[in-house]
C-alpha cells in the first residue's frame, strides 16, 4: 500500500508539472481553432492573448490549490504507513517531503496566487517588484517540487531496500 501511495504522490507531482506548463501554451489564440469566432469582440494582437493568459493563470491557481491538498493527503498517509514499517531512511525522506508539501501548500501557493493576481494585467516584459517577487516564488516552488520528488524516490528506494531493525 505504501508503494502505491508514494507512486501516486510522485505521479501527481509529475502530472502537475506537465499541466502547469501546458495550460499557457495550449491557451494561445493561434492554437485555438475557433479563436477568431469566439473572441471577435477582442482586439487580436493584445486583448486576446491577455484574456487567454488570464484564464490559464486562474486555471493553474485552482489546479495548484487542489494539488497541494491532494499531496498533503497522500504524503500524510504515506508517512503514517511508513512509521509502521520502521524503515528509517524511508520515514525520514517521506517526512521531509511532507514538510516541503506543507510549505508549498500553506506558504508558496497562497503567496503565488496573491502576487500572480497583482500582475495578471501587467506586461510580461516589465520587471515590476511584483513580477520579481512572483519569479522568486516560482523558482522556490520549482526547487521545492524537485527536492520533494527526489525525497519521494528516496523514500521508495528506502522502503524497497532497507530492512526494518530487528527487535530483540
C-alpha to C-alpha distance for 89 and 165, rounded to whole angstroms:
12
Range of the domain at 95: 2-23+60-161
Q: Domain for residue 103, yes or no?
A: yes
Q: Domain for residue 55, yes or no?
A: no
C-alpha to C-alpha distance for 8 and 12, rounded to whole angstroms:
6
Q: Domain for residue 46, yes or no?
A: no
pLDDT of 148: 98
Q: Domain for residue 69, yes or no?
A: yes
Alpha carbon dihedral 122, 125, 129, 134, in 10-degree steps, equals: 80
Distance of CA 112 to the CA centre of its chain: 11
pLDDT of 35: 81
pLDDT of 165: 59
Least confident range of 23-27, 102-106, 143-147: 23-27
pLDDT of 112: 97
C-alpha to C-alpha distance for 95 and 93, rounded to whole angstroms:
5
Radius of gyration of the chain measured on its C-alpha atoms: 20
**Residue 127 pLDDT greater than 80, yes or no:** yes
**Residue 166 pLDDT greater than 80, yes or no:** no
**Residue 101 pLDDT greater than 60, yes or no:** yes
pLDDT category at 13 given cuts 50, 70, 90 is: very high
pLDDT category at 156 given cuts 50, 70, 90 is: very high
**Residue 117 pLDDT greater than 70, yes or no:** yes
The number of folded domains in the chain is 1
Half-sphere exposure of 138 (CA within 13 A, CB side): 14
Q: Domain for residue 34, yes or no?
A: no
Q: What is the mean pLDDT of the chain?
A: 92
**Residue 30 pLDDT greater than 90, yes or no:** no
pLDDT category at 36 given cuts 50, 70, 90 is: confident
Amino acid at each position: 500500500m505504501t508503494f502505491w501511495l508514494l507512486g501516486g504522490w510522485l505521479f501527481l507531482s509529475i502530472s502537475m508539472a506537465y499541466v502547469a506548463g501546458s495550460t499557457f501554451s495550449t491557451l494561445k489564440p493561434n492554437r485555438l481553432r475557433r479563436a477568431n469566432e469566439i473572441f471577435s469582440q477582442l482586439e487580436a494582437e493584445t486583448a486576446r492573448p491577455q484574456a487567454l493568459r488570464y484564464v490559464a493563470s486562474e486555471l493553474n491557481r485552482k489546479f495548484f490549490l487542489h494539488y497541494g491538498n491532494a499531496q498533503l493527503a497522500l504524503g500524510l498517509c504515506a508517512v503514517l504507513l511508513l512509521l509502521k514499517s520502521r524503515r528509517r531512511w524511508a520515514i525520514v525522506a517521506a517526512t521531509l517531503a511532507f514538510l516541503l508539501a506543507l510549505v508549498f501548500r500553506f506558504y508558496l501557493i497562497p503567496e503565488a496566487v496573491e502576487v500572480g493576481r497583482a500582475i495578471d494585467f501587467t506586461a510580461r516584459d516589465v520587471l515590476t517588484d511584483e513580477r520579481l517577487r512572483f519569479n522568486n516564488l516560482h523558482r522556490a516552488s520549482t526547487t521545492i517540487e524537485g527536492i520533494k520528488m527526489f525525497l519521494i524516490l528516496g523514500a521508495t528506494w528506502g522502503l524497497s531496500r532497507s530492512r526494518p531493525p530487528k527487535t530483540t
